[in-house]
Amino acid sequence: MRREGDPGEGDGMGRPPVQRSGPSGKWIAIIVAAVLLLIFAIQNSERVDVDFFVIDTRARVVTVIVVAAALGFVIGFFVGRPSRSERKAMKD
């Protein structure tokens, strides 16, 4: 439901929508989380044993943290992404 005064909707009188400036709260949260993850990873640089399926190796904790975060991001991106039919429905 559209309310008058909603940003980005225009005012119904032919004037263009209001453009917001600056980073959104979502991007600020992402940047803060990335910085905290980076600080945590750098502070944990000792070597540990890593057992992953058939791979047994020693790696730095920072490497394990960064790889796990990257895998989590990729999985989250694809799980949270709407399907093609959902995206089409959003456009209509």
Is residue 4 one of the residues assigned to a domain? no
Q: Looking at the domain assignment, is residue 14 inside a domain?
A: no
Count up the domains in the chain and report the number: 1
What is the rounded CA–CA span in Å between residue 45 and residue 52?
19
Phi, psi of 76 (to 5 degrees): -60, -35
- Which region holds residue 20: left if phi is over 0, alpha if psi is between -120 and 50, else beta? beta
- C-alpha span between 17 and 5 (Å, rounded): 10
Residue 67 lies in a domain: yes
Residue 9 lies in a domain: no
Within a domain: 32: yes
* pLDDT score for 58: 93
| Domain that residue 52 falls in | 25-91
The closest of 35, 76, 44, 89 to 62, measured between CA atoms, is 44
Per-residue pLDDT of the chain (92 residues; tens, 9 = 90+): 555 555 555 556 667 776 777 778 888 998 998 899 888 878 888 899 988 888 899 998 888 888 888 899 899 888 877 777 777 787 76
Are 39 and 46 within 8 A, CB to CB? no
